[in-house]
């Protein structure tokens, strides 16, 4: 280890908010962890944790300290990966956070293909649980993020952008599923609906599409689970509004039908693949990012051919692979 275990202790306490929980996860005594924290606070001449009745919270100095620690730990992981790669090419680890819909949609097939081609690369995938997809990337907890409606954020660099419109998802037996082409949203909202819950990025886009309609919309069910929405549509309980990536696998298998919404009601979800601005991607992450980008491009073109997506859904800038710096490309 090229750095002190104190760094691990501070990082774990920041994650857990408790010395006792951190000590249990690190499999060391609480007193040993506490001593290390006191020692580093004395060294800095400033407290890094605020002691609260229910745990610990980072101070302003602590926030700076943890940001530095995570950079150090991430750089150490890259060093380990590069040394391993000298003996075992393509070995490494990739961490990514994605939205719930993508985790339950096209990513299992994409990941299975990558694992088959790169069996030595370990993948750590986090479902954001409809919380922030940006924060784990900004803090260095994960290498990559993939999500919708990601705002321009200092410290984040975009590898790829896609423009994905929402549409209606139906069971194959529904009368609207027998037609072709875009569907009028007024026809859709007169049917029973199940929708993403308020506050999610998908629901925000749906609300923009519904706002001009003269008909009030009261869904039978609202949830943050895209899997739940798809299951209910399959059972014929109701229709839903999702993006075509969420249901690409089910549409291929014939379990569901996707129809785009006719203008002027069409609303889009920008999808972004992104990473930290100041952190170069290591070899394994670069390979994964390029593979993911290529698969997403192929999926978008497939959906365009089916009429589910317009030409504008192609990666913005026309690139077919992530833009990686020279430092990102090699070991």
- At 81-111, the pLDDT tens digits run 667 665 555 568 899 999 888 888 889 999 9
Per-residue pLDDT band for 325 (boundaries 50, 70, 90) equals very low
Query: Helix (H, G, I), strand (E, B), or coil: what is residue 5?
Result: helix
Q: Is a pLDDT exceeding 70 seen at residue 236?
A: yes
Residue 324 has pLDDT above 60, yes or no: no
To the nearest 10 degrees (0 to 180), the angle between helices 283-305 and 60-87 is 90
Give the number of other Cβ atoms within 10 Å of residue 34's Cβ: 16
Cβ-based neighbour number of residue 169 at 10 Å: 29
All structural domains of the chain, each given as residue ranges with its CATH number in brackets, are: 5-67 (1.10.10.10), 87-163+269-324 (3.40.190.10), 165-268 (3.40.190.10)
Place of tokens 């919270």: 57
Residue 115 pLDDT: 93
* Model confidence, pTM: 0.67
Q: How far is CA 99 from the centre of its chain?
A: 4
Within 10 Å of residue 167's Cβ, how many Cβ atoms? Answer: 27
List pLDDT tens digits, range 115-135: 999 888 999 998 876 567 888
Q: What is the mean pLDDT of residues 240-268?
A: 89
């Amino acid at each position: 280890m090229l750095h002190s275990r104190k760094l691990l202790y501070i990082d774990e306490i920041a994650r857990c908010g408790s010395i006792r929980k951190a000590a249990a996860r690190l499999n060391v005594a609480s007193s040993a962890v506490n001593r290390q924290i006191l020692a580093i606070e004395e060294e800095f001449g400033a407290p890094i944790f605020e002691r609260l009745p229910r745990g610990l919270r980072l101070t302003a100095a602590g926030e700076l300290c943890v940001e530095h620690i995570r950079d150090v730990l991430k750089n150490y992981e890259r060093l380990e990966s590069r040394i391993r790669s000298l003996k075992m090419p393509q070995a490494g680890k990739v961490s990514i956070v994605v939205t719930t819909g993508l985790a339950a949609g096209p990513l299992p097939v994409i990941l299975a293909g990558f694992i088959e081609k790169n069996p030595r690369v370990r993948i750590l995938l986090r479902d954001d649980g409809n919380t922030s997809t940006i924060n784990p990337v900004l803090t260095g907890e994960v290498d990559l993020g993939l999500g919708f409606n990601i705002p321009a954020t200092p410290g984040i660099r975009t590898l790829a952008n896609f423009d994905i419109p929402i549409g209606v998802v139906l069971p194959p037996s529904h009368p609207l599923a027998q037609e072709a082409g875009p569907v009028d949203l007024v026809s859709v909202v007169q049917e029973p609906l199940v929708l993403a819950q308020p506050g999610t990025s998908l629901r925000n886009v749906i609300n923009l599409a519904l706002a001009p309609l003269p008909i009030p919309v009261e869904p039978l069910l609202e949830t943050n689970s895209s899997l739940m929405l798809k299951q209910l549509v399959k059972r014929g309980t109701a229709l839903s509004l999702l993006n075509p990536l969420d249901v690409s696998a089910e549409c291929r298998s014939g379990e569901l039908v996707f129809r785009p919404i006719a203008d002027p009601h069409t609303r889009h979800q920008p999808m972004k693949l992104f990473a930290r601005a100041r952190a170069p991607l290591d070899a394994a992450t670069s390979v994964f990012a390029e593979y993911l980008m290529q698969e997403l491009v192929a999926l978008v073109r497939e959906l365009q051919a089916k009429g589910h997506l317009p030409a504008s859904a192609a990666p913005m800038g026309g690139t077919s692979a992530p833009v990686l710096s020279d430092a990102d490309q090699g070991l």
